[in-house]
Chain A
Amino acid sequence: MNELRCKVLIIGGGPGGYVAAIRAGELGLDTVLVEDGRFGGTCLHVGCIPSKAIIHAADAAHALADPLALNAIGLTLAAPALDFAKTIAWKDGIVSRLSTGVGALLKKAGVRSLRGRATIVDGKSAIAHADTGDQRIACEHLVIATGSEPLGLAALPFDGEDVLSSTEALALTKVPETLAVVGAGYIGMELGMAFAKLGAKVTIVEALPKILPLYDEELSQPVVRRCADLGIDTLLGARARGFANRTLKIFADGDEQAIPAEKALVAVGRRPRTIGFGLESLDLAMAGPFIRIDDRCATSMRNVWAVGDVTGEPMLAHRAMAQGEMVAEIIAGEKRAFDHRAIPAICFTDPEIVAVGLSPDAARAAHGETLVGLFPFRANGRAMTKQDDEGFVRITARADNHVVLGIHAVGGGVSELSSAFALALEMGARLEDVAGTIHAHPTESEAFHEAALKALGKPLHI
């Protein structure tokens, strides 16, 4: 077995790994990327991108199926027909195009890529099990970017047929008539709402007493209301006990109950991929189930780095990309550290939720007295013209110096406001900075401006 030598070996071609590879290549480092699937990882193939495609299709279908809203703007249509197989093919086309694009970017950066599963031998070498045979690779720097995978339930093991993870749910070629979603986190809520819009009768089962437990009540309430409008049954404080014969057995209110469901989607979380590729041979220090890293993504072994979901929460593609870029630059000799002030998180439910920085409660706990300004979209002209004035923008700042600590929003399309929110936090903006910025009219972003004005005690439009 002849040995391939390189400066940087990256295991995993998801957002963390491929960004690290592109940057490393651009910086002139001899880089090898090993990926056993296609480039883009969970995010591109079975996560962010395909789910957003399905959600878009569901929104489009749902918009045409809402006669009241259509009538209000003077539109009458015959009932639309959905060819879901075509939807999936369209989604796959997007995924394929993006994945090919990543491959081209890697090539352009001079990265050598190998298709195959990798097995770590030690901190300086690994074996890629490719179709063409095993390839031993020796490196100076090893970057672990193996990502995460859906977490299963013992009572409800994935079977790929009826008990599905988000991966299989995004590959369904037919909309199930009834769908039980176990877990009301962002993945379960996003997909549950999308399938409800596509025509499925959806029941959401959550063990905790509220949906979207990572967000505060104020933010999740509009989603709760929309779920009710969509006819979604939400069972809180309920535990799944098993699935058989198109029936999900749950235990709730001291009772066994049966939920009729053609399919069950289990979305109770994700776990880091740390097993099955020789990671244990490095005996790295761990932080719970995750690989422990410092603020430079260095592991406990010198010149072994880890980025992305395998390193912990929040398991978000943009965090992995930022880490990957940074690690490549550090290996190239630059002084960098992961010192970001905020990692925006978005929940693509209906309405969407954006969270950047601290919630009002967390801000109070960390910094004492705070100012909070909330501006509802029902007072925003642009939201009205879009027939979607649910939600608000909420800004939280320190009372003593007005430095913004957190910005949250819920509403249609607010995901695009996340960049403004994140920029404000990274720049250390004060309320006066946001209030002193002219926001274009008529846009939903004006709610951001007004929220800051309100926190300062001088709102204009409310």
Chain B
Amino acid sequence: MGARSIRMPDVGEGVAEAEIVEWSVKVGDLVREDQIVASVMTDKATVEIPTPVAGAVVALGGAVGDVLAVGAELIRIEAPGLPDSPPPPPPKGAAKAAAAQALAEPAPPPAPVAEKAHEAPPSAPSAAPLRLVSTAPQRGAPRPAGEKPIASPAVRLKARHAGVDLRFVHGTGPAGRITHDDLEAYIAKPPEAPATAPGRHPNLSAETIKVVGLRRRIAQNMAESSRRVAHFSYVEEVDVTALEDLRAALNVHATEVRPKLTMLPFLMLATVRAVADHPQVNAHYDDDNEVIERFGAVHLGIATQTPVGLMVPVVRHAEVLGLYEAAREMRRVSEAARQGVAAREDLSGSTITLTSLGALGGIASTPVVNRPEVAIVGVNKIVVRPVWRDGGFVPRKMMNLSSSFDHRVIDGHDAATFIQRVRALLEAPATLFIEGNSS
């Protein structure tokens, strides 16, 4: 009988630490060889960690949300017939304080999913026996009218005594038969009153959501950017009537190779053209070392809503892409981010970021600069507005650009001339496609 330490593996090149985002086991569980015990998240990927030995879990190296250095003890397993593993070496690299955290024993209950809803205020720890999990009441529609639920007379009597209408109870037995367990689970945790209940009731529920994983990273990045960057925003309206006409004309002849275009690829092209004249906005500001790095390449970050939260996949070298290539590459990286299959290089290294909420774009927004970048360009929705022109109002398709800059290194004048250049390009879309065109 020997205790075997499983260490945080080297989960990626240059990765020094990883965050525990899920425990699949708890102290006391028996595990098989190769069983997944935990999921850990590095900067860019979530990795499932299997155990190389079978045995009983005796200690966990941290709680969900803890950051462990590579090489730190992740889990300790009592494996019969194996010698004790040597004590873990000190974690390599300059791991954060959490890395060296002593083994939590007993480990706090693992949160089975990142978001766990509590019915009551979080003071009551849920100690529901495991078997109830399988028979948790489901909030489905009642059985069709006239169809009697399948349940033994004893279950029906118990339900009657408890005041439960069995038509609302999910049955886990064959053909949906309601068992005693099903009924007990329902009684222990009845569903919310149906919407048809008379009167309004104060809603006393509160939900505690542990901020882990991607959400925690977003929070940290946003707070850091807000704390360090001296944001200023600039909003300008753009007449996109001609651009929309061009887009509509192109989309009429959409094919599989040349699918329908959104506004964004045009903005990508306009940004590439404009930064050529305003290289100060296509840069990184390393404020720790007080160094600005300007780039020839334009790696466009595309702010993307994914099921787990905001991500910024990157279209690399946008300066070499044509309109359809830009559209295709943008779709590829944003789809990859949404489906959680984005490669590491697809998620890092952007030099300037575009953000668009599409139809939800509103009339103006104040985007947060994606540090260490110094500029972010936001797109608002297109609306038809009356515009005074040549002595009369004419209906024009208008769209606002809401952009933010790091005022520490970008002056207001530079930012304004950059956006005016983007505007001029978008208002005369033919100029987007004229090589060597420069103001």
Using a CB–CB distance below 8 Å, which chain A residues touch chain B? 334-337, 339-341, 401-403, 426-428, 430, 432-433
Stretch in B172-180, B326-334, B391-399, B408-416 with 4+ CB within 8 Å of A: B172-180
Name the contact of A430 in the complex, choosing from B151, B160, B161, B174 (C-beta under 8 A).
B174
CB distance from B251 to the nearest CB of A (A): 47
CB distance from B144 to the nearest CB of A (A): 11
Q: Which residues of B contact A339 (CB under 8 A)?
A: 148, 156, 160
A-side contacts of B85, CB under 8 Å: none
B152-A430 in contact (CB<8A): no
Q: Which of A340, A403, A432 has its CB near the most chain B CB atoms (within 10 A)?
A: A403
The CA of A233 and the CA of B390, in the complex, are separated in Å by 110
Do the beta carbons of B160 and A428 come within 8 Å of each other? no
Q: Is B163 close to A, CB under 8 A?
A: yes
| Chain B residues near A (Cβ < 8 Å) | 148, 150-153, 156-157, 160-161, 163, 174-177
Do A335 and B174 touch across chains, with their CB atoms under 8 A apart?
Answer: no
Q: Which of A334, A340, A341, A432 gathers the greatest number of chain B CB atoms within 10 Å?
A: A341
Q: With A401-B175, A402-B175, A403-B175 in contact, do A428 and B161 touch (Cβ < 8 Å)? A: no
A337/B160 in contact, CB under 8 A: yes
| Chain A neighbourhood of B152, CB < 8 A | 426-428
Q: Are B151 and A428 in contact (CB under 8 A)?
A: yes
- Nearest-neighbor residue (CB-CB) of B146 within chain A: A366
| Whole-angstrom CA separation of A403 from B176 in the bound complex | 10
Known contacts A341-B148, A403-B150; A428/B163 CB under 8 A: no
CA distance A427 to B153 in the complex (A): 7
Starting from the known contacts A401-B176, A402-B175, A427-B152, 9 additional A-B residue pairs (CB-CB under 8 Å) come to A334-B161, A335-B163, A337-B160, A339-B156, A340-B153, A401-B174, A401-B175, A428-B150, A428-B175
Contact of A335 among B161, B175, B176 (CB under 8 A): B161
Chain B: minimal CB distance from A358 (Å): 12
Find chain B residues with CB under 8 A from A427 CB: 152-153
The 7 closest A-B pairs by CB, nearest first: A428-B150, A401-B175, A335-B160, A427-B152, A403-B175, A428-B177, A426-B153
Question: Given known contacts A426-B152, A426-B153, A427-B152, is B163 in contact with A432 (CB within 8 Å)?
Answer: no
Interface centre among A335, A401, A428, A433 (most CB of B within 10 A): A428
Distance in angstroms between the alpha carbons of A336 and B157 in the assembled complex: 7
Q: B160 to chain A: which residues have CB within 8 Å?
A: 335-337, 339
**Which of chain B's residues have a CB closer than 8 A to the CB of A426?**
152-153
CA distance A339 to B166 in the complex (A): 11
CA of A400 to CA of B152, assembled, Å: 20
A-B contact pairs, 19 of them (CB 8 A): A334-B161, A335-B160, A336-B157, A336-B160, A337-B160, A339-B156, A340-B153, A341-B148, A401-B175, A403-B150, A403-B175, A426-B152, A427-B152, A428-B150, A428-B151, A428-B175, A428-B177, A430-B174, A430-B175
Q: Which residue of A lies closest to B150 (CB)?
A: A428
Max count, chain B CB within 10 A of own CB: residue among A340, A402, A430: A430
Which residue on B lies nearest to A334, using beta carbons?
B161
Q: How far is the CA of A403 from the CA of B177 in the complex (A)?
A: 10
Q: Return chain A residues, CB-CB under 8 Å to B148.
A: 339, 341
Q: In the complex, A334→B161 CA distance in Å?
A: 7
Which one of A336, A339, A340, A426 has the highest number of Cβ atoms from chain B below 10 Å of its Cβ? A339
| Max chain A C-beta neighbours (<10 A), residue from B150, B153, B157, B175 | B175
Please give the distance in Å from B115's CB to the nearest CB on chain A: 35
CA distance A427 to B156 in the complex (A): 10
Residues of A within 8 A of B150 (CB): 403, 428
Q: How far is it, in angstroms, between the C-alpha of A401 and the C-alpha of B320 when the chains are bound?
A: 62
Query: Which chain A positions have C-beta within 8 A of B177?
Result: 428
In the complex formed, the residue of A with least CB distance to B153 is A426
Q: In the docked arrangement, what's the CA distance between A337 and B176, Å?
A: 22
The reply to whether B156 and A432 form a contact with Cβ atoms under 8 Å apart is: no
Q: How far is the CA of A337 from the CA of B157 in the complex (A)?
A: 9
**Residues of the A chain whose Cβ atoms lie less than 8 Å from the Cβ of B175:** 401-403, 428, 430
User: How far, in angstroms, from A139 to B174 measured CA to CA in the complex?
Assistant: 47
Min C-beta distance of B380 to chain A, whole Å: 53
- Complex CA gap A426/B157 in Å reads 12
Minimum CB–CB distance from A198 to chain B (whole Å) comes to: 41
Closest to B173 in A: A428
Chain A residues with Cβ under 8 A from B174's Cβ? 401, 430, 432-433
Residue of B nearest to A398 (CB): B175
- Cβ of B437 to closest chain A Cβ, rounded Å: 69
Report the bound CA distance from A335 to B151 in whole Å: 17
Neighbouring B residues of A337 by C-beta, 8 Å: 160
Q: Which residues of B contact A336 (CB under 8 A)?
A: 157, 160
Please give the distance in Å from B179's CB to the nearest CB on chain A: 10
A335, closest chain B residue (CB): B160
| Complex interface: chain A residues within 8 A of B151 (CB) | 428
Chain B residue nearest in CB terms to A432: B174
A403 CA / B147 CA spacing, docked (Å): 12
A340 and B156 alpha carbons, distance in the complex (Å):
9
Residues of B within 8 A of A428 (CB): 150-152, 175, 177
A336: min CB distance to chain B, Å = 6
- Which B residues are CB-close (under 8 A) to A402? 175
Which residue of chain A is the closest to B147 with respect to CB atoms? A367
Assembled-state Cα–Cα distance A402/B150 (Å): 12
Rounded to whole Å, the gap between the CB of A432 and the closest CB of chain B is 7
A401 nearest CB across to chain B (Å): 4
Chain A residues, CB < 8 A from B163: 335
- Closest chain B residue, CB of each to CB of A340: B153
Q: Complex: how many Å from CA A432 to CA B152?
A: 16
Q: How far is the CB of B187 from chain A (nearest CB, A)?
A: 14
Of chain A, the residue at the smallest CB distance from B177 is: A428
> Which chain B residue has the least Cβ–Cβ distance from A400?
B175
